[in-house]
């Protein structure tokens, strides 16, 4: 099967990534390159066509001179897209017509083709006696990356799952259950809760918490990886957005959150990054193709420092326990109401405040739980989610009835900006 690839030239278009996703949804592979790229670099990909993405409001939309004559020399079919918003709606006819009629592509970039090719590539990269390690977090990206590599090389992959004691209710058990029982993968769970919580004792500053957790995570990971003997490769769940942000003209705008809780780039392993060509929604499609449980494939993003940045102020076991119970109730009710997939992230927060309440005619003085749920495309901006009121009411009722030491529940109705999604 010949691989059909289209190059999207980014002239600073605000919607370049969206254009790329629309192209791939039509089962055509594409690569985004900055408009400053050399002709040679474009040719090295052997593209079948070029799409020039300028975006609304750019200088090019006024005089239609975007058709940079430099690229004419390549003699490839070209399509200019001035305003990607058209594509945001339903209007992919323009693209379809160009790709399938003008260029004559077949649309053979499917998820099963991607999985088959990637497995083949991993087998070629990793020699028969080489060993691979993967840091499993239970998130979508690392899970899909690990399962792909496992499909390719089986037990030559060892996964390390660091339980820092800051995970959600039953999360560690679910991760182990999925990967060891269902996928029969070699996963080593490291119970490092004591180490992390000792280091966090007395710390209240959010950035200091992040720093401690980040440093500790790397220390524990390196120590445990060293116990495995000779390791040649490290699997990373890097996505396409991480790769292109340093290359495109729009890089600054789409820069994702610093990934605290990740691994540094200077570890002494070579990297395997099986998802570095994919957008998040494509990773989910690959996950489904690999029969990873839906719950995991559609899981909301969860920050590396975990619940430590949702327990405001000092992190203690007691507070973590309260937060875990409240959070689990919130998520359970959201799933019951079938709203989970509409929401980018939903979670509970435990602010460091107590207030007065009344229960069984007795005055109480107990914690407040904050609820946060947002819709977003990429986490860079977000709006608060408009819950049906009865769902909020059920969550609040259940939390105050079932979670000890809580007598009040509030819902966060701020957008990002000016707020952030997390409270710390």
* Site for ligand XMP, rule CB under 6 A: 210, 257, 259-261, 301, 303-305, 345, 379, 416, 420-422
Q: Which is nearer to ligand XMP, 87 or 167 (CB)?
A: 167
Distance CA 150, CA 274 (A): 12
- Compute the least distance from the CB of residue 420 to ligand XMP, in Å: 3
257 vs 276, which CB is nearer to ligand XMP?
A: 257
Closest CA to 391 of 411, 375, 405, 420: 411
Own/partner pairs for 94-103, CB < 8 Å, 24+ apart?
Answer: 95/22, 95/23, 95/26, 96/26, 98/49, 98/51, 99/6, 99/23, 99/26, 99/28, 99/49, 100/26, 102/49, 102/77, 103/6, 103/48, 103/49, 103/77
- Give dist(CA 228, CA 132) in Å, integer: 10
Which residues have a Cβ under 8 Å from the Cβ of 239 and sit 6 or more positions away?
141, 275, 276, 278, 279, 280, 283
Q: Which is nearer to ligand XMP, 150 or 372 (CB)?
A: 372
Between residues 189 and 257, which has the closer beta carbon with respect to ligand XMP?
257
Closest distance between ligand XMP and the C-beta of residue 332, in Å? 20
**Which of these, 412, 415, 398, lies nearest to 350 by C-alpha position?**
412
Least spacing, CB of residue 245 vs ligand XMP, in Å: 14
Q: Could you tell me the smallest distance in angstroms from the CB atom of residue 193 to ligand XMP?
A: 18
| Shortest distance, position 8 Cβ to ligand XMP, whole Å | 26
Q: Looking at beta carbons only, is 214 or 274 nearer to ligand XMP?
A: 214
How far is residue 330's CA from residue 411's CA, in Å, rounded to a whole number?
11
DSSP 261-325: TS--TTSSSEEE-TTTT--HHHHHHHHHHTT--HHHHTPPP--TTGGGGTB-SS--HHHHHHHHH
Whole-angstrom Cα distance, residue 59 to residue 15? 15
Place of tokens 């998802």: 275
**For ligand XMP, which is the closer residue by CB, 274 or 303?**
303
Strand-strand pairing, 345-349 and 362-375: antiparallel
Output the smallest distance, CB 264 to ligand XMP, in A.
Answer: 14
**Shorter beta-carbon distance to ligand XMP: residue 6 or 331:** 331
Distance of CA 281 to the CA centre of its chain: 9
Helices (H), 201-278: 206-226, 240-244, 251-254
CB of 382 to ligand XMP, least distance (A): 7
Closer residue to ligand XMP, CB minimum distance, 298 or 365:
298
Give the nearest distance from C-beta 376 to ligand XMP in angstroms: 8
DSSP H helical ranges for 337-424: 389-402
The nearest distance, CB 208 to ligand XMP, in angstroms, is: 12
Of 175 and 421, the one with the shorter C-beta distance to ligand XMP is 421
- As measured in angstroms, the least distance from the Cβ of 87 to ligand XMP is 25
- From first CA to last CA, the distance across the chain in angstroms is 49
Q: Which of residues 195 and 378 has its CB atom nearest to ligand XMP in the complex?
A: 378
Please tell me what DSSP assigns to residue 416. Answer: B
């Amino acid at each position: 099967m010949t691989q059909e690839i289209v190059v999207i030239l980014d002239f600073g278009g605000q919607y370049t990534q969206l254009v790329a996703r629309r192209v791939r949804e039509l089962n055509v592979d594409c690569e985004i390159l900055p408009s400053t790229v050399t002709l040679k670099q474009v040719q090295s990909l052997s593209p079948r066509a070029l799409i020039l993405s300028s975006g609304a409001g750019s200088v090019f939309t006024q005089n239609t001179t975007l058709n940079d004559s430099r690229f004419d020399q390549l003699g490839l079919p070209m399509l200019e897209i001035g305003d990607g918003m058209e594509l945001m709606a339903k209007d992919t006819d323009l693209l379809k017509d160009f790709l399938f009629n003008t260029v004559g592509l077949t649309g053979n970039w499917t998820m099963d083709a991607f999985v088959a090719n990637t497995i083949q590539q991993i087998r070629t990269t990793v020699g028969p006696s080489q060993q691979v390690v993967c840091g499993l977090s239970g998130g979508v990206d690392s899970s899909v990356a690990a399962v792909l590599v496992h499909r390719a090389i089986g037990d030559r992959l060892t996964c390390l799952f660091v339980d820092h004691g800051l995970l959600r209710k039953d999360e560690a058990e679910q991760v182990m259950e999925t990967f060891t029982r269902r996928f029969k993968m070699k996963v080593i769970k490291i119970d490092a809760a004591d180490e992390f919580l000792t280091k966090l004792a007395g710390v209240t500053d959010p950035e200091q918490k992040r720093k401690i957790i980040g440093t500790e995570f790397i220390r524990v990971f390196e120590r445990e990886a060293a116990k495995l003997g000779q390791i040649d490769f490290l699997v990373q769940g890097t996505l396409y957005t991480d790769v292109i942000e340093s290359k495109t003209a729009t890089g600054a705008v789409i820069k994702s959150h610093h990934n605290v809780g990740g691994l540094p780039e200077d570890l002494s392993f070579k990297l395997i990054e099986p998802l570095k060509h994919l957008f998040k929604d494509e990773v989910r499609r690959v996950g489904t193709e690999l029969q990873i449980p839906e719950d995991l494939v559609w899981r909301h993003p969860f920050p590396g420092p975990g619940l430590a940045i949702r327990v405001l102020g000092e992190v203690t076991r007691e507070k973590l326990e309260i937060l875990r119970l409240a959070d689990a109730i919130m998520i359970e009710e959201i799933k019951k109401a079938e709203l989970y997939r509409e929401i980018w992230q939903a979670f509970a927060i435990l602010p460091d405040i107590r207030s007065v309440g009344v229960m069984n005619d007795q005055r109480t003085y107990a914690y407040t739980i904050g609820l946060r749920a947002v819709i977003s495309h990429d986490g860079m901006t977000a709006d608060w989610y408009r819950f049906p009121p009865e769902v909020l009411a059920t969550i609040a009722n259940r939390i105050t009835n079932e979670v000890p030491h809580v007598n009040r529940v509030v819902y966060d109705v701020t957008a990002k900006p000016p707020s952030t999604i997390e409270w710390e």
